[in-house]
Structure 1
């Protein structure tokens, strides 16, 4: 497999892997605009030359849009290989490229979000363990911070206190999200409209800066849904999934 690094110079002509081929799609535009801003913060987006979900996205932890304390580490936003591209060792290829690049940049190690059991849109804990990652912190909702140190004597990354116990005082549905996930551009307005139509209390909090994201109440910032104060989902909900949730 050949890989290509998406940069500010080639982003307009490159697809971004998330099964979105229409470059005029609002989801593609949203993601590319977000990536373009993050390149200036040291973000790396490495993907296969094949169309499909096969990429890794990582950034210096100090610039990550998550409430973590991991100075000197590289934070992996997303490592995703899916569909017909699974099972060929591409995840290892991408992770190894990230490790090599991070070591060359003098980083202390890598960190990434996961959970004890595989959750949608989070890294697979079995894969992380196989690759030598360990859990270094855990929030009360089961979201874990994993790390891979490059040296035995480095400090452990950890969550900020604000994210240790994900709970808010507001009633109804409250969603925190960023533009890191391109699908949010389509589905967040969609479920907002459903909630309005059904007179269901719903508030969407669009995190638009790393400062906001680094001080929010949830470790997962790409998509974090609360109901009556409690964290209930980090999985992006389309209209059908949201309606199903409402039925419960």
Structure 2
């Protein structure tokens, strides 16, 4: 099996790896593919193993990244995932090496990636990236780390924008910031709003539609950031049962 590049010419035929496996997930898949098509214009690269599995890397020039960072001249890794039967076969190294080579060929000064103090769902594995030479450039509440791999010792140190550092917003109640960068969000954001309304409350949905909005978001992970009474709660997508449990424990 080989690593292939997904682009505007083949995206409709290719499995995009992170898509949910449910038979009813096609709407979610199409929302992610539509998001990717728009980002290809901004220089996004999506490379994956030529197989049906979660083995891929997605990266974009940091100036166009949907992440509130200041990292001019860097290439930003949106998502990097190797799972299941494909672990331990060197695919992660291949994908990262191709990303590094591509970034250098394009004159970038290094790579950045959103990670965490310990392994968290939907975020890049800090242990692996630190092993590959990434360093902590900046931190944001409550557990985010901006990692970077400079290609030159004179490369500037990237950082989070101030708007995303504190993990707080002014709005009270339940507020969800999300985007179509993940295929799961377009399905589950309306579901939790509907569940909340069934219980006599509500979730305010703040969908991020542009890179500018993402770069001014109140939390580093613009794919999904849930707040309650002004405080950041989680970047992990609420499915029905998890959200019901959160409501019972915190709201109702």
Q: Above 0.5 in TM-score? A: yes
Q: Residues of 2 paired with 1:24 and 1:243: CA distance?
A: 21
**CA shift at 1:200, angstroms?**
2.2
Alignment length, in residue pairs?
248
Q: Residues of 2 paired with 1:23 and 1:41: CA distance?
A: 30
2:51 maps to what in 1? 50
**CA shift at 1:201, angstroms?**
3.1
Q: Residues of 1 paired with 2:24 and 2:159: CA distance?
A: 37
1:127 maps to what in 2? 128
Q: Residues of 1 paired with 2:143 and 2:20: CA distance?
A: 31
Comparing 199-208 and 95-104, the one that deviates more: 199-208
Q: Residues of 2 paired with 1:3 and 1:199: CA distance?
A: 49
Q: Residues of 2 paired with 1:136 and 1:19: CA distance?
A: 31
Q: 1:171 to 1:23 in 2, by over 3 A?
A: closer
The answer to whether the Cα contact below 8 Å between 1:15 and 1:23 also exists between their aligned partners in 2 is no
* SS at structure 2 position matched to 1:27: helix
Q: Any gaps of 5 or more consecutive residues in structure 1?
A: none
- Please give the per-residue CA displacement for 1:173-220, whole angstroms capped at 9, x wherever unaligned: 111001000011111111111011112231110000001111111111
- Please give the per-residue CA displacement for 1:89-128, whole angstroms capped at 9, x wherever unaligned: 2111111110011000000000001111111100111101
The answer to whether the Cα contact below 8 Å between 1:23 and 1:29 also exists between their aligned partners in 2 is no
Quote the RMSD (CA, aligned, Å).
Answer: 1.3
- Where does 1:1-248 land on structure 2 (aligned, <5 Å)? 1-20=1-20, 25-248=26-249
* SS at structure 1 position matched to 2:102: helix
- State TM-score, norm by structure 1: 0.97
Structure 1's consecutive aligned runs of 4 or more residues displaced over 2 angstroms after TM superposition are 19-24
Q: Any gaps of 5 or more consecutive residues in structure 2?
A: none
Q: Residues of 2 paired with 1:186 and 1:134: CA distance?
A: 35
The answer to whether the Cα contact below 8 Å between 2:136 and 2:146 also exists between their aligned partners in 1 is yes
Q: Residues of 2 paired with 1:12 and 1:113: CA distance?
A: 28
**CA shift at 1:20, angstroms?**
4.2
